Amino acid sequence: MHIIRAGRVAAALLTALAALISPANAHAASTAPAPVRWAPGDTVTLPVLEALDALVVQDESRTGYSREKFKHWTDADRDGCNTRAEVLLAEAVTDPEVGASCTLTGGLWYSAYDNRYFDAARGLDVDHLVPLAEAWDSGASAWTAKEREYYANDLDDARALIAVSAASNRSKADQDPSTWMPPYAGYWCQYVTDWVADKTRYRLTIDPAEQTALAQRLAECPDQPITVTLAR
């Protein structure tokens, strides 16, 4: 009796196994979509909350950081205007006059961090949205010198560099959204959305406090899609 039962169990197991490896199931397995593998130069579009979830969360380290390791305000196209001047020209509400050595006279700018207008370039700083030190902490320490130079002068994504009041930029310093947000609350949603986009573009990590702060801010914002061309 026990032998008959064991034989029936074995037969049932063989039947189930045959079903699992049937041609229909084998075809389904072979046509299952492969995991997405992003590569430098790819352009991706996804909701900002999904992009946040895709960022790697880990502790950060400032070991070895020096601002000089990010060569910045270069003149990549050799037109006489360095990166800072190029951002000021691109973001001017009213165009300034461009003089010798790319000296800017007149013009009008809007500082989104504190909702203020400026009629002289000297009142503005060009801010790295994700500060150089923060980039170092979250992955750039492993980059080459040329990769860090490109990051520090990124004119290919308008979110990377922003002209803002010198006072707001210096208040921010190298802080992330867990310890600093722009004084103007009306800009918060745009700020954290652009922060996630910039970190996605360079595949930088976020630390746990930063992740929490970003998630809390974005929960109060539209889950708008971001489009990012991966720099690395």
Question: For 180-219, how does the pLDDT look when each residue is reduced to its tens digit (9 = 90+)?
Answer: 999 999 999 999 999 999 999 999 999 999 999 999 999 9
pLDDT tens digits, one per residue of 102-148? 999 999 999 999 999 999 999 999 999 999 999 999 999 999 999 99
- Asked whether the beta carbons of 196 and 51 are under 8 A apart, the reply is yes
Question: Could you tell me the two tokens for 151?
Answer: 């990051």
Kindly state the average pLDDT of the residues 20-44: 55
Residue among 232, 210, 221 nearest 49 (CA): 221
Burial class (CB in 10 A: 0-12, 13-18, 19+), 31: exposed
Please, are residues 182 and 191 in contact by the beta-carbon 8 Å criterion?
Answer: yes
C-alpha 160/C-alpha 202 separation (Å) is 10
Specify whether the CB–CB gap between 214 and 185 falls below 8 A: no
Q: Domain segments of the chain: what residues?
A: 1-32, 43-229
Query: pLDDT at residue 24 above 80?
Result: no
Read off the pTM: 0.84
